[in-house]
Each structure stands twice: as structure tokens, then as C-alpha cells.
Structure 1
Amino acid sequence: MPRYLTLIRIDEQKAAAFEADPGFEERMGALFEEITKAGVMLETNGLKPTSEGVRVKWAGGALSLTDGPFTEAREVVGGYAMLQCKDMAEAVEWTRRFLATHPVGWEVGAEVRQFDEAPQLPSA
């Protein structure tokens, strides 16, 4: 079955003010239990804020490093999920359900992309 990467996008400036409603953790826990039992969820996690990150860029034959926070970026990747689904429609449906568990006042987006299942580099 194909694998999909869901990148959770947030605006860090706005997200700092988000407060969970009383049922948020229960809704999220129920969804995670369901998606795990369905054999769809391979891995998921949130990411530390960009203030703790570093951007590495290759351009013009040179590497550059930029310490966070990345204030010029409106949206950043705040987390991810690796899913194994029968097709893109199923991956999008699980992602839609994940986003719908969040409180109404939050702004959270996602990008769903299928892995290119080309041969992997050998591990050392």
C-alpha cells in the first residue's frame, strides 16, 4: 500500500494563543486509537518551534545556515503524520478528520503528499 506524508501547517504567531477546548484531548485520543487500529498510522509527532531550528540552504555552490525563528515564514510545519492508505482519497479523509478534531477558533492546515517509492539508499 502507498505511504503518505501529512505535513501539518501552522502560523506560529497565532498558534501561541490557541487554547484547547475541554474535549480536544479526548477527540484526538479517540481518532489516534481508531487510525492506529485501522493500521493506517505509521508515525506521527509534533515539532519544536522554529526558534529551536536551523535552516540549511545550498545555493550558488555554497551552504548557508540560518538560525530560527523563521519570522519571514507565515506558515511553518508544526508536525507530521506518516500514513499507509489504499489511495490519496483515504489519506485526505484521515487528514480531514484529524483537522476537524481541533477547536473551532484554531487555524491549522495540512499538505498531503504520497511518498515516491523509488529505491532507498542503502543504510550504513
Structure 2
Amino acid sequence: MQVMVLVKATVDSERGFVATPDAMAAMGRFNDELRAAGILRFADGLKPSSSGKRVAFDGAERTVIDGPFAATGELVAGFWLWEVKDMDEAVAWVKRCPNPMPGPSEIEIRPFYEADDLTS
């Protein structure tokens, strides 16, 4: 089962904070554990939404919207792509993750569609 693990944005991540060396080292060790377990496929952080753009679709029209975007808690600050046996395994790994932000934060796990999902 493939899942995308989304680190939700916070006020700090939208300000473009730089993690402490200890926090970076802790996340590096966690990523090393994921690699060693054969789970990690890809991971990266995202710049604040002020660096981004959205394209809104309405029929044939396209409207470009410059960041920053509102609703910080609905934005994504970083992600992993994992290959796990099931959602329970993904949850167990996320529970082991160091807090990705200096304060309260959330991580969301979303499964990818698989071939069986599309043929039923």
C-alpha cells in the first residue's frame, strides 16, 4: 500500500522557520529508520505558501492566484511517500516521528488509489 504522509503547515512553517540542528538531526534519524525498513520512497519539505501559486479552473478559464494562502492548517509544509503493508503500519510509523514543528502540529496520512479501487 502506498501512502502520502502530509506534514500540515503551521504559523511557524508559513513564516519560513528554520529547524534547530537538534530537530534536523532527529528528523534525519527518523528518515534513516524509514529507509532501513524499506518504507521511504521520497520525502521533502515545501517552502511557505507565499512562494507558491494556485491555478483556479472554471470551465475553459484559468486564473492564477499568488500565495500566501489562508487557512494555514489546511496547507502542506512537507511530505513523505511510503510503501507500507497497511494503514496501521503507517500510523505506527507516524507516531514514532519527531514533532516536525516547534509547537503543536499534525500529520495526515492518505492512501493512494490502487488498481483494485478503480475497477470495482
**TM-score where L is the length of structure 2:** 0.80
1:89 & 1:65 partners in 2: Cα distance? 39
Return the match for 1:73 from 71, 75, 78: 71
TM superposition shift of 1:60: 4.8
Q: Is the 8 A contact 1:18 1:106 kept in 2?
A: no
Aligned position for 1:107: 104
Give the length in aligned residue pairs: 114
TM superposition shift of 1:105: 4.7
For the residue of structure 1 that corresponds to 2:115, the secondary structure is coil
Partner AA of 2:27 in structure 1: M
1:103 & 1:77 partners in 2: Cα distance? 12
Report percent identity of matched pairs. 34
Gaps spanning 5+ residues in structure 2: where?
none
Aligned position for 2:113: 116
Distance 1:118 1:107, change over 3 A: same
Partner AA of 1:89 in structure 2: D
Q: Is the 8 A contact 1:41 1:82 kept in 2?
A: yes
Partner AA of 2:110 in structure 1: R
Kindly report structure 1 stretches of 4+ aligned residues shifted beyond 3 Å.
14-23
Distance 1:114 1:104, change over 3 A: closer
Structure holding more helix per residue: 2
Distance 1:103 1:21, change over 3 A: farther
